[in-house]
Amino acid sequence: DVVMTQSPLSLPVTLGQSASISCSSSQSLVYSDGDIYVSWFHQRPGQSPRRLIYKVSNRASGVPDRFSGSGSGTDFTLKISRVEAEDVGVYYCMQATHWPFTFGPGTKVEI
Amino acid sequence: DVQLVESGGGLVQPGGSLRLSCAASGFSFSDYWMSWVRQAPGKGPEWVALIKVDGTESWYVDSVKGRFTISRDNAKNSLFLQMNSLRAEDTAVYYCAWPVRLLHYWGQGTPVTVSS
């Protein structure tokens, strides 16, 4: 199975500042169609995960442009610029290239 | 608007069975693969199973193979997960999610607790 590793696992942030979360995969995530199926999700306590970024760098509908994704091969990054109070919670990366699709362990973002 | 509404969760003894359902609306259900994802307490999400548009092909994570069966009824826009021989480690919130490789939409989840 593809192992997704995230760092850091805990991230204290300051309102208005930027924050970055890294995600690494144990193998290349390029699918046969040429796309890289890496997504990022945000989850608040008691809520379902909410999609932020798909296929590495595409911002999902309704997601503020403060969120951006980048990366290639086996290394990916989620950047939050100008952190707001509503951004607290756990962030997960996920690969959907190789079955079983797998999630990272999560990064807890706290103010 | 896309809606995914799960039901059927509850408390079950080890070795017992449950059948989860997901009612989908707001998209052409019969045109898409569908999936179940679960999340154990305090843990990250974990994929459980996928099913092809016509139900003829399904994929499972190793930990549930031979115990869980995913199925669908395209006429009723419904997805199912039959869970047999349940174990304590199957305790989780079970989500129906779509589309399969992107997971733009999740239901609210239905909790399953396996305990004596």
pLDDT tens digits along B47-81: 999 999 999 999 999 999 999 999 999 999 999 99
Is the pLDDT at B18 greater than 90? The verdict is: yes
CA A109, CA B13: separation in Å to the nearest integer? 36
Work out the pLDDT band at A73, boundaries 50, 70, 90.
confident
For residue A108, list its beta bridge partners: A10, A90
Cis status, amide bond into A64, omega within 30 of 0: no
In eight-state DSSP terms, residue B49 is: E
| Pairing verdict, β B68-73 and B58-60 | unpaired
In eight-state DSSP terms, residue A110 is: E
Is the pLDDT at A49 greater than 90? The verdict is: yes
Residues B104-116 have pLDDT tens digits of: 999 999 999 999 9
| The amino acid at A8 | P
CB contact under 8 A, B103 and A49: yes
CB proximity list for A36: less than 8 A, separation 6 or greater: A29, A30, A55, A56, A71, A72, A97
Work out the pLDDT band at A82, boundaries 50, 70, 90.
very high
Residue B79 three-state SS? strand
Range B19-24 average pLDDT: 98
Is the pLDDT at A16 greater than 90? The verdict is: yes
CB contact under 8 A, B45 and A50: no
By C-alpha distance, the chain A residue nearest B41 is A46
> Counting one residue from A and one from B, how many pairs have CB atoms under 8 Å apart?
48
